[in-house]
Amino acid sequence: MVPSVVDIESDSKIMNRSKLYLQRLLFKVLTIVIIAGAMPVWASSPVAECVAQAVGKDRLVRVHEQGKRFFIADQRLAKGSIIRLVERIGTCMRDTPWGSDWSVSFFRQSDMAGYKDDAAMQKYHKDNQWAKAYLAEFNYQSGQLVFDPILKPSTMSLRMSDGSP
């Protein structure tokens, strides 16, 4: 039996609807993946979970396990509160696989909490938005806490309560 023109048109419409459905489904899946990637990753390891508890889950916005770096964000961070947060993080780091090789970066805004060269940060380099949001960084090995590390660095040595570094 030879298909009629009506059958061919119906099949074409069905194919187009199926294609549109699959495109919409793919878009939804990709959106979920992107959103999930942007969500805080504080519970990715016991170390990160301890830090999230120490600084507040809403403040820990990113953990870079390979780089052994935490990214903390809060609009209300001042020098005194940053020092206290570093000390709290230090208590979590005792007897961990990271040992004395860790660091933390503090930002004013969570969407800017990341490495300078990250693709997602490029849009914030215009008018120094990223640099202005980067409040401080601490490196445990050196014991150096640097406030305003990009625009006007001010460094202080910080000893943990256990006497290190």
Residue from 90, 111, 108 nearest 99 by CA: 90
Report the mean per-residue pLDDT for the chain.
Answer: 82
Domain housing 18: 1-39
Lowest mean pLDDT of 10-14, 61-65, 71-75, 105-109, name the range.
10-14
User: pLDDT at residue 40 above 70?
Assistant: no
Q: Strand 134-139's sheet: what is its strand order?
A: 60-64, 69-73, 103-107, 134-139, 144-147, 154-157
What is the pLDDT at residue 158? Answer: 87
User: pLDDT at residue 25 above 60?
Assistant: no
CA distances from residue 151 to 99, 114, 140, 154 in whole angstroms, order as listed? 30, 17, 22, 10
Based on the fold, state whether residues 50 and 18 are members of the same structural domain. Answer: no
Domain count for the chain: 2
User: Who contacts 100 (Cβ-Cβ below 8 Å, separation ≥6)?
Assistant: 140, 141, 164, 165
H-run or E-run covering 6: helix 5-38
Based on the fold, state whether residues 62 and 125 are members of the same structural domain. Answer: yes
Based on the fold, state whether residues 65 and 122 are members of the same structural domain. Answer: yes
Based on the fold, state whether residues 70 and 139 are members of the same structural domain. Answer: yes
Chain-centroid distance, C-alpha 33:
15
Q: When comparing pLDDT for 72 and 1, which is higher?
A: 72
Are the C-beta atoms of 105 and 128 separated by less than 8 Å? no
